[in-house]
Amino acid sequence: MQTQQTPWTSDPKHRLLCLVADMGFCCLVFVTSTNIFFNLDFFEGVEEPIPWEYWGPSNTRLFEYPPERPWRIGVSGNRVLHSFFEVGKTAEIKLRMLDFSQLAVERRQGLGRVVKQPSTIVISESGVIQNLTTSLPYVEVTTERTFGYGELQTIWIDRDRIILFKKQFSRVCCPNFFEQVRCIHFVQFQRLEVMEV
């Protein structure tokens, strides 16, 4: 007798909302816990917009990325997966998993680094300087595996897997009929790769 498996779906109250703002000089990625939007007591009787200062900093984590580098990001449930350049190694890209669930932060079980301290990003636009401080805690785990510059086209994540859509180049040699020299062409192809979480 086969057991029927129910598909995994995360609780809407404990998911992440990810917004990317392209500022031209940088890209800002806001990761916000949806839990704040299900707290009805917080919004009860409110007819005016609620200022960012009351709900944003404690329920959000803000990341900054340079616009010229090909970073990638994937979100699923309480997890964010993003690519980043190692400091001092401009051509090597690694993957970093950020788990924003309270359970992961409380019981990290020796995996990764717990980040609870607030972080501040300074934004300067049209002569106006603004400090954005956010403090949503998370557990950070970095892979040892590296990828080449521009190799990762897209990254996805679900409960058990990381799915990478990669671009690779292969060298193909072919004879040149007018000369004795062989010419070399670089052929681009895409490949889907799955990693277990």
Domain annotation covers residue 174: no
Taking only the tens place, the pLDDT of each residue in 105-118 is 888 667 789 999 99
Q: Which domain holds residue 94?
A: 12-161
C-beta separation of 177 from 150 below 8 A? no
Task: Flag whether pLDDT at 98 surpasses 90.
Answer: yes
**Overall pTM > 0.85:** no
Domain annotation covers residue 189: no
Domain annotation covers residue 176: no
Domain annotation covers residue 2: no
Q: Report the pLDDT value the prediction gives residue 103, as an integer from 0 to 100.
A: 84
Query: Number of structural domains, the chain?
Result: 1
Taking only the tens place, the pLDDT of each residue in 49-66 is 778 888 889 999 999 887
Domain annotation covers residue 45: yes
Provide the pLDDT confidence category of residue 187 given band limits of 50, 70 and 90.
very low
Give kind and range of the element (H or E) at residue 128.
Answer: strand 128-134
C-beta separation of 96 from 111 below 8 A? no
CA distance 181 to 194: 40
Domain annotation covers residue 132: yes
Q: How large is the greatest C-alpha to C-alpha distance in the chain, in angstroms? A: 83
CA distance 190 to 187: 10
Q: Report the pLDDT value the prediction gives residue 186, as an integer from 0 to 100.
A: 47
Domain annotation covers residue 166: no
Domain annotation covers residue 1: no
Exposed e or buried b per residue across 124-154, where buried means at least 16 C-beta atoms within 10 angstroms of its C-beta:
eeeeeeeebebbbbbbebeeeeebeeebbee
Average pLDDT over residues 133-138: 95
Q: Report the pLDDT value the prediction gives residue 140, as an integer from 0 to 100.
A: 93
